[in-house]
């Protein structure tokens, strides 16, 4: 009995030390990168175009940091806004929109928010319908490469992440990636098997800001071809056009599907076949342009520059400023890519 008590005490001390190391490293990373690029309170980064937008907004407003707090996090921590606080910013992600407040719009300091976040993630959390309490350090693997990710290579919110880790341990999933049935079927053309979707415990609910109904995510081990979900493909894809303007999310999803199909996710620039022809660059054989309807009766075709026989020439000819309308102007933001 005495040895059992000592064993439990040792395990508790080890878990506590793990939590402290995790919290210290996360906080140090957050402090170090507050001016490097826009990040969330938890230390997550944004897509390139969202990063450009948020950093530009921070400079315009005179904010001292580039730390942004998602509305769900602010609500969970019960953060209080300053009087006359700036309104939240709506950021569009591939999986939906989310509202963000800059950290300076709350009454407490960034350091206090970091402390509250650390306390929140270390405190016992109610998990599942049975009300089982687990601590973050006990539930999350020490190796970050084992954490569950969505098809953009991004982590999930805290409660969903813990549940996914528990299901992975229970069912022995071979992949770290999770997707909605729509993503698996449309983007990757590898739908989930019906028997897999039929088991309620395979699905994890993730909050969706657009509706009161959450999205259901499943581990991609249950798809017809799990090998399609690789680190090279499960990454954020932010396509842009010939003049280095980012495409809107609804267009980006369709372009990512084509990029996966043609094995060119590493290339994010797209052009019209007419522009490739104008530069005397031919398309590769068997290439199917993406056909997009941007207004009633108006369509535009797009191909990835890697679907042509001379991608280098097209990239060299890319330029930012133009005095004539582009065929895909209706599909892009005015945010520009930083050309290297």
Tell me if 83 is assigned to some domain: yes
**Domain end marker among 123, 141, 162:** 123
Residues 47 and 105 in one domain: yes
Confidence of residue 210 (pLDDT cuts 50, 70, 90): low
The stretch 202-213 carries a mean pLDDT of: 80
SS3 102: strand
Indicate the range of 151-165, 191-205, 215-229 predicted with least confidence.
151-165
Whether residues 10 and 115 share a domain: the answer is yes
Considering the domain boundaries, does residue 109 fall inside one?
A: yes
Q: What is the pLDDT of residues 47-87, one digit of tens each?
A: 777 888 899 899 888 999 999 999 888 888 889 998 888 88
Specify the number of domains making up the chain. Answer: 3
**253 and 268 co-located in one domain:** yes
Same domain, 254 and 303: yes
Asked if the structure places residue 170 within a domain, the reply is yes
Query: 251 and 190: one domain?
Result: no
8 and 119 assigned to the same domain: yes
For residue range 281-302, what is the model confidence (pLDDT) as tens digits?
A: 999 988 889 998 877 778 889 9
Q: Is 162 within the bounds of a domain?
A: yes
Cβ-based burial of 299 (10 A; exposed 0-12, middle 13-18, buried ≥19): exposed
Q: Is residue 234 part of a domain?
A: no
Q: Are 65 and 103 in contact (CB under 8 A)?
A: yes
Angle at CA of residue 249, ends 248 and 250, nearest 5°: 95
In a domain, 153, yes or no: yes
Residue 115 lies inside a defined structural domain of this protein: yes
| Same domain, residue pair 277 and 183 | no
Residues in a beta bridge with 39: 45, 67
Is position 239 within any domain?
no
Same domain for 78 and 158? no
Residues 157 and 204 in one domain: yes
Whether 179 and 205 share a structural domain: yes
Task: Mark whether 20 and 117 lie in a shared domain.
Answer: yes
- Mean pLDDT of the region 217-229: 96
**By C-alpha distance, which of 308, 321, 340, 330 is closest to 242?**
321
Domain extent at residue 134: 127-228
Q: Which residues contact 112 (CB under 8 A, 6 or more apart)?
A: none
- Chain centroid to CA 299: 29
Q: Where are the beta strands (DSSP E) in the chain?
A: 39-40, 67-70, 89-93, 96-102, 125-127, 132-134, 178-179, 204-206, 215-219, 245-247, 270-271, 290-295, 298-304, 332-336
Return the percentage of the chain with pLDDT > 90, whole number: 34
CA angle centred on 306, ends 302 and 310, rounded to 5°: 105
- Check whether residue 64 and residue 11 sit in a common domain: yes
Torsion of CA 170, 176, 181, 187, to 10 degrees: -170
């Amino acid at each position: 009995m005495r040895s059992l008590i000592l064993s439990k005490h040792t395990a508790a001390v080890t878990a506590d030390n793990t939590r402290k190391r995790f919290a210290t490293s996360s906080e140090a990373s957050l402090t170090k990168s507050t001016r490097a690029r826009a990040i969330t309170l938890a230390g997550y980064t944004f897509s390139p175009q969202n990063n450009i937008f948020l950093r530009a907004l921070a400079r315009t407003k005179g904010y001292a940091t580039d730390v942004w707090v998602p509305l769900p996090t602010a609500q969970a921590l019960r953060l209080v806004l300053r009087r006359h606080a700036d309104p939240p910013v709506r950021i569009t992600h591939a999986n939906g929109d989310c509202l963000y407040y800059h950290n300076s719009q709350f009454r407490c300091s960034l350091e206090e928010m970091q402390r509250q976040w650390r306390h929140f993630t270390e405190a016992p959390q109610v998990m599942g319908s049975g009300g089982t309490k687990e601590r973050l350090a006990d539930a999350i693997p020490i190796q970050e490469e084992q954490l569950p990710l969505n098809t953009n290579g991004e982590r999930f919110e805290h409660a969903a992440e813990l549940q996914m880790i528990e299901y992975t341990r229970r069912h022995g999933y071979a992949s770290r990636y999770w997707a909605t049935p729509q993503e698996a079927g449309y983007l990757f053309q590898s739908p989930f098997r019906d028997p897999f979707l039929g088991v309620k415990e395979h699905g994890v609910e993730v909050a969706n800001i657009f509706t009161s109904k959450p999205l259901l995510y499943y581990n991609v081990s249950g798809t017809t071809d799990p090998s399609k979900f690789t680190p090279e493909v499960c990454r954020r894809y932010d396509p842009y056009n010939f003049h280095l303007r980012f495409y809107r999310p609804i267009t980006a999803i369709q372009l990512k599907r084509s990029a996966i199909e043609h094995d060119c996710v590493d290339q994010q620039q797209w052009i019209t076949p007419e522009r490739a022809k104008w530069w005397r660059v031919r398309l590769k054989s068997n290439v199917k342009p993406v056909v997009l309807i941007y207004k009633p009766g108006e369509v535009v075709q797009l191909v990835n520059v890697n679907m042509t026989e001379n991608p280098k020439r097209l990239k060299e000819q890319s330029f930012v400023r133009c005095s004539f309308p582009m065929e895909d102007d209706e599909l892009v933001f005015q945010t520009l890519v930083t050309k290297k």
